[in-house]
Each structure stands twice: as structure tokens, then as C-alpha cells.
């Protein structure tokens, strides 16, 4: 008998559309369980020929060893199963699910216990990478085996019967879905689709249609490096629905979540990557179209225009790490802590202390804040303990936030004391590449962040070493008045506008607009909440404090006092020209008890967080005190 050795690759079926399925068929004929069908198995069948038995020599499970079993060996003669994986079996951990169909070939007996194991493609022999394992009961007909809690990526999957004898270990491949997509209109007749990569994927395709859930159109196969694709020739003002699929060598994974977009005149042409087209298109959406412009594009590029009209484009230098709750540079060095949702100032532990008012049913907000100067004559109103630069990096913030589903966006300003830069190797650097010193002055820095689930996301945040938008106190001895506005664009632009306008506070004259200092305008991609439902709007004053002490909060020595909401409590007691408004389409309304909880103290006596309410919901001033 000639010897043929070939790898059994499971039959893969990837159907276009919702009928996505893959099938692993385990090859029969290995009577002695050595993972090869050869002479030894043939001899076993011949030796037991005519016997009634439940032993593996009865390969097809009909209770007798006969011609049918002999044919199974002959038909599969020379076949060799896939090897075992190296590594330890571990519980699967991940966010993805794929269904696999498994079948025992040439089997009429009862269902048998089968194990399905998988490892990332290319790491099959790497013992340091764990094996994820699933158990199923499988017979001679197709059995669906759900593989839940998978990591993202392309995996080699191997299935084998738990009992020795009959079936070879069979190998196939699966690829999970694309974890995130975003479809943005980029012109009157086109939409650009962005996505996150699937580890190990060899290609992608974008599919679309005009009905949700149906995608009759498909792009060509796009390379493994592709992360965006522009679909052209679409009808203007018509809604299209998109999914992205990842492939491993022609095997297509399940479709991503769906996103939709409406091509329209005036859409921002992100796909051109041209600041001279993108910036004017964004300006066209602004009212009024002045001020510094810092635009965060869907793929994480910053488009910047300064007050002289100089334009530039560069990768967003920082990203938001939702797991750690901090802003990091691309090397993972810490820039600043940011807020994490879901923890209250009133809880006994938490990464920060804050005063928050929040409500549902609105999708945006405008709030006027008063920010005291760090020091005025001999009084200190803002203090960030210098030693915390290396540890907690506690620092004051004032910001607005909106969350819905797993998306959270936040825009505001954060205080950075003189001497703080990027935390790297136990030191403060302004620029880790050039290793120049951090700024020697106190400043506020605007930021705009979007987080979706635990995805690392680029952030619009002015670079510490490039101080164009550092808001300094040098011309504002009485403090700053900051007007924050955060609102998803409801005019089909599929974006969120964030604006911080800053004036120097004037002594005894709070009702005239004081001297204008700067205007920061951010624009980032986001999916506005479906018909504006389910959004939670919040406004906050906080000190980030990322390492709580044993008594629930750490007395770091930092404090932040006399910050006002719609109110200027320090040098000239009085209302600010605007107080607090929430945006509920189609218009703004006062931030009232109808939409929000009032601010509260922590502990109730207010020794750590003290909110003095002037008018409930939209006028107050706040002290947060972590003095030791």
C-alpha cells in the first residue's frame, strides 16, 4: 500500500450573509488512536472482521466490524491528524463568540464527547500561549458548538474525540468579527468606513446595503493593513448600512456590528487626509467659525489650525486608556489621569473626588465655570502636591460628559501645575523623544476624549511640549472664566463639537464679558444616541486621585477651592453671564431639577467635597480638599 501523508484541513464554509457557519469534520479510520490511518488500523479491522463489538475496530458504530469499516480505513488510508497544541489549557477570556459546526464522519452511533481547542494562528507550538478549550457532545450529524469568550483574532482550531480510537485530530481556522467600525459620510455621494484590526487577519471587506441587516454590496478584498475604505457612488441624503468582515486566507469571519451613514453635501471629507479640505469643511459647521481649531478625525489624526490660519495634520499624540483611566502617550507614559464613569464622590473609595450633577434625556450641555487663580497674594486656591506628580498625579478638572451604551465622551479642561509633563521613568518630561523639561508655569489644558468599551482611543489633547493651547494665568490674576460646550452634531455630520472659550475674570465686573483669552474648538467622531434617547449628561468638578488610601481617600495635600458653576464666588460675588444649560433637542434648557440630581457633599459634613448651592442645579461653588 502506498503511503500518503496529508494534513486534514477541516471543511470551511463561509456563506455570504447571515448564514455564516464553519464546519469541522473529523476523519474516521484511526482504530488504534495514534493519529494516523495506516496498516496497523487495517490489520485491526481485518483481525476483528465479523465480530460484534463496541471497540474502535467497529469504526462506524453500527455494532459489527464488516466491509463498511474496512472501506473507511481504505478510503482514508495515509491520512494523518493534526498535532496537539503546546501549552496549558485555560478558561477562554475575551469578548467574541463564533459558532462552529462539528461532525464525526462515518458514524451512526451515539453522540461522543469531543473537545475543541484553539490558539492564535502562528502560536500553535508556543507553550507560553494558553490553549482555550471547549467541550461538546457530537454525533454523525452537524452539531453546533458555540465558542464564547474568545479573544479577537484568527485562531487555529483543533477538534478531537475524548475517547481514543476512530477519529483523527482535525484542524481548521476561525476568525472573529471586527471589534469596532465607524461609518462617516465624507461627501455628497460617499461614505468612509473605519475599523479596528483583527489580530492575524489576512484581509477585510466592507459590505453595505440600504436596509439594516442586509448587505448585498461588497468591496474587493482589502489588504491586512487596511483600516478604512471609502465607498463611492452612493445616493446623496440616503441612509446606508455597513458592516466589515475579517478574513483568514479566504475564510471570512462573522460581520461586525452595523453602522449607518447618510452621504450629504457638506460632509467632512476625512478620506482626503487634506487639511485644506477638512478644516474649511469643519469651519463651515462652526458658529461662529473662529478660534483655534483642533479636530480629531475618525482614524485618530489631529487637524489643527492656529489663530494665524496655519494648518497642520499629525497623529493624535495621546490616547485614552479606559482600563487605567488615564491619558497616555503612544509609549504608555502617563500624561494625566482622567475620570472613569461609575464611581461616585460619595463612595468610600474611588480614583477621584468630585461634585457631579447628572441627568438623562439630554445630549449636550453648556456650562460657565469660574476657575480661581492658583495663588492670589498670600492665599492659595489651587494646589497640586508636587510629590503626586510621580504617584497619584491628582489634578483638578472641570468638564462635561455624555454617555450612552458603551460610548462615553467628555470634554473639559484639566489643570497642570508648573513642573508637570509626561511621567516617564520616574521623572517629568515635556517630550519623551527629545527629553526636554516640562513647562515651568501653571496652565489648564483642554481635552476631548471618547471611549468605547475598553478600546484604546486617540484623544484630542494639546501636547504638553507644544503649548499652543495652554491656558495660562499670566494675564488673569483674578482667575479665569471658562465656558464649556459639548454637543453631538445633529446635522448629519456624525460628530461631537467641543468648545472651550476662556476669559480673564475682572474684579467687580463679572457681568461684562472680560478679556478674551482663547477659544479651543474640538470635533471628534461619535455616534449620536439613537434619536437622542438613553443619553446621560453630566457636569463635574473634580480632582483626579487615582490611588485611594486605606481610609477610602488619600490625603495627598492637594486642593481646589472656590471653583464656581455659573457663579463667581471669590473676588466678586456674582452670577456669570451664562450658567448651566442642557441641550435637549431641539433647544437648550436650564440645567434644572427636571433633568438632574443636585450636587452633594462628601462626607455629608463636606470636609472633603463641599458644594455650596446658590441656586439648585445651575449655580454653586465647590471646594475639594485633600489637605493632610
Question: Where on the chain is the footprint of Ca ion (CB under 5 A)?
Answer: 30, 32, 34, 36, 41, 58, 60, 62, 69
Residue 37 beta carbon to Ca ion: minimum distance, rounded to whole angstroms: 6
The DSSP bridge partners found for residue 132 are: 90, 118
Q: Which of residues 41 and 519 has its CB atom nearest to Ca ion in the complex? A: 41
- Please say which residue, 69 or 328, places its beta carbon nearer to Ca ion: 69
- In the structure grid, which three cell numbers stand for residue 501, read together? 472659550
Minimum CB–partner distance for residue 23 and Ca ion (Å): 24
Residue 41 C-beta: closest distance to Ca ion, Å? 4
C-alpha cell at 571: 473676588
In the complex, minimum distance from the CB of residue 62 to Ca ion, in angstroms, rounded to a whole number: 4
Report phi then psi at 85, rounded to 5.
-75, 150
Nearer to Ca ion, 61 or 432 (CB): 61
Transcribe 261-286 into DSSP letters: E---TT---GGG--HHHHHHHHHTTS
Q: Cell digits for 195?
A: 475599523
For Ca ion, the closer of residues 52 and 310 by Cβ is 52
Query: How far is residue 579's CA from residue 424's CA, in Å, rounded to a whole number?
Result: 39
Q: Quick one: 42 or 188, whose CB is closer to Ca ion?
A: 42
Residues 6+ apart with CB under 8 A from 5: 78, 80
Instruction: Report the alpha-carbon distance of residue 56 to residue 346 in Å, rounded.
Output: 66
CB of 141 to Ca ion, least distance (A): 18
- Beta bridge partners, 521, equal 293, 499
By beta-carbon proximity to Ca ion, the closer residue of 61 and 179 is 61
- To Ca ion, the closest distance from the beta carbon of 144 in angstroms equals 27
In the numeric block, which cell numbers belong to residue 529?
Answer: 444616541
CA-nearest of 255, 196, 256, 252 to 226 is: 196
Cell digits of residue 24: 469541522
Q: Name the residue nearer to Ca ion (CB basis): 50 or 586.
A: 50
Tell me whether residue 30 or residue 259 sits nearer to Ca ion (CB atom). 30
Nearer to Ca ion, 41 or 431 (CB): 41
Shortest distance, position 36 Cβ to Ca ion, whole Å: 5
C-alpha cell at 451: 471611549
Contacts of 361 (CB under 8 A, 6+ apart): 533, 535, 584, 595
Cis? peptide before 288, omega within 30° of 0: yes
Residue 292 near residue 468, CB atoms below 8 Å: yes
Shortest CB 340 distance to Ca ion, Å: 57
For the bound state, the minimum distance from the C-beta of residue 35 to Ca ion, rounded and expressed in Å, comes to 7
Nearer to Ca ion, 69 or 177 (CB): 69
Give the shortest CB-136-to-Ca ion separation in angstroms.
24
Q: Residues 421, 574: contact at Cβ < 8 Å?
A: no
* Cβ–Cβ under 8 Å, residues 158 and 87: no
Angle in degrees, 0-180, between the axes of helices 39-47 and 67-75, rounded to the nearest 10: 180
Total residue length of the chain: 628
Amino acid at each position: 500500500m502506498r503511503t500518503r501523508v496529508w494534513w486534514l484541513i477541516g471543511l470551511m464554509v463561509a456563506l455570504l450573509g447571515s448564514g455564516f457557519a464553519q464546519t469541522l469534520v473529523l476523519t474516521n479510520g484511526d482504530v488504534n488512536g495514534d493519529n494516523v490511518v495506516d496498516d496497523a488500523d487495517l490489520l485491526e479491522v481485518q483481525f476483528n472482521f465479523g465480530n460484534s463489538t463496541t471497540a474502535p475496530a467497529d469504526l462506524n458504530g453500527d455494532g459489527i466490524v464488516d466491509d463498511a469499516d474496512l472501506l473507511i480505513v481504505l478510503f482514508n488510508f495515509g491520512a494523518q491528524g493534526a498535532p496537539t497544541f503546546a501549552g496549558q489549557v485555560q478558561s477562554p477570556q475575551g469578548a467574541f463568540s463564533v459558532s462552529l459546526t462539528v461532525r464525526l464522519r462515518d458514524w451512526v452511533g451515539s453522540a461522543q464527547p469531543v473537545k475543541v481547542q484553539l490558539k492564535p494562528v502562528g502560536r500553535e507550538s508556543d507553550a507560553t500561549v494558553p490553549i482555550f478549550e471547549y467541550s461538546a457532545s457530537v454525533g454523525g450529524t452537524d452539531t453546533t458548538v458555540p465558542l464564547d469568550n474568545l479573544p479577537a483574532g484568527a485562531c487555529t482550531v483543533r477538534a478531537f474525540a475524548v475517547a481514543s480510537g476512530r477519529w483523527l485530530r482535525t484542524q481548521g481556522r476561525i476568525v472573529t468579527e471586527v471589534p469596532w467600525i465607524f461609518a462617516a459620510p465624507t461627501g455628497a455621494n460617499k461614505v468612509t468606513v473605519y475599523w479596528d484590526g483583527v489580530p492575524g487577519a489576512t484581509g477585510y471587506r466592507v459590505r453595505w446595503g440600504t436596509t439594516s441587516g442586509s448587505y448585498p454590496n461588497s468591496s474587493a478584498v482589502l489588504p491586512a493593513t487596511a483600516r478604512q475604505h471609502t465607498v463611492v457612488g452612493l445616493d446623496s441624503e440616503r441612509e446606508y448600512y455597513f458592516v466589515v468582515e475579517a478574513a483568514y486566507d479566504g475564510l471570512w469571519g462573522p460581520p461586525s456590528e452595523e453602522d449607518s451613514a447618510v452621504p450629504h453635501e457638506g460632509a467632512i471629507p476625512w478620506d482626503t487626509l487634506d487639511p485644506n479640505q477638512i478644516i474649511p469643511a469643519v469651519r463651515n459647521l462652526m458658529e461662529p467659525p473662529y478660534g483655534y481649531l483642533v479636530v480629531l478625525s475618525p482614524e485618530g489624526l489631529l487637524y489643527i489650525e492656529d489663530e494665524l490660519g496655519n494648518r497642520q495634520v499629525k497623529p493624535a499624540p495621546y490616547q485614552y486608556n479606559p482600563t487605567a483611566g488615564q491619558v497616555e502617550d503612544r509609549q504608555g507614559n502617563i500624561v494625566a489621569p482622567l475620570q472613569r464613569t461609575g464611581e461616585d464622590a460619595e463612595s468610600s473609595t474611588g480614583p477621584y473626588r468630585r461634585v457631579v450633577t447628572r441627568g438623562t434625556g439630554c445630549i449636550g450641555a453648556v456650562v460657565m465655570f469660574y476657575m480661581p487663580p492658583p495663588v492670589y497674594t498670600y492665599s492659595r486656591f489651587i494646589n497640586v502636591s508636587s510629590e503626586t506628580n510621580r504617584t497619584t498625579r491628582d489634578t483638578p478638572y472641570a468638564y462635561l460628559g455624555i454617555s450612552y451604551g458603551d460610548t462615553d465622551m467628555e470634554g473639559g479642561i484639566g489643570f497642570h501645575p508648573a513642573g508637570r509633563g509626561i511621567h516617564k521613568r520616574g521623572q517629568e518630561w515635556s517630550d519623551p523623544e527629545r527629553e526636554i523639561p516640562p513647562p515651568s508655569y501653571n496652565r489648564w489644558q483642554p481635552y476631548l476624549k471618547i471611549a468605547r468599551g475598553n478600546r484604546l482611543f486617540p484623544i484630542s489633547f494639546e501636547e504638553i511640549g507644544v503649548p499652543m493651547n495652554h491656558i495660562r494665568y499670566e494675564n488673569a490674576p483674578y482667575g479665569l472664566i471658562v465656558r464649556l460646550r459639548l454637543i453631538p452634531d445633529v446635522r448629519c455630520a456624525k460628530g461631537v463639537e467641543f468648545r472651550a472659550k476662556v476669559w480673564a475674570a475682572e474684579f467687580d465686573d463679572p457681568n461684562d464679558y472680560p478679556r478674551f483669552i482663547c477659544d479651543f474648538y474640538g470635533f471628534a467622531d461619535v455616534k449620536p444616541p439613537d434619536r437622542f434617547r438613553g443619553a446621560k449628561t453630566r457636569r463635574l468638578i473634580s480632582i483626579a486621585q487615582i490611588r485611594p488610601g486605606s481610609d477610602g481617600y488619600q490625603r495627598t495635600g492637594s486642593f481646589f477651592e472656590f471653583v464656581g458653576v455659573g457663579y463667581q464666588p471669590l473676588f466678586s460675588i456674582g452670577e456669570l453671564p451664562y450658567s448651566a444649560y442642557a441641550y435637549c433637542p431641539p433647544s437648550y434648557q436650564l440645567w434644572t431639577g427636571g433633568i438632574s440630581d443636585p450636587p452633594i457633599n462628601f462626607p455629608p459634613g463636606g470636609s472633603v467635597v463641599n458644594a455650596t448651592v446658590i441656586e439648585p442645579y445651575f449655580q454653586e461653588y465647590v471646594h475639594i480638599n485633600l489637605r493632610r
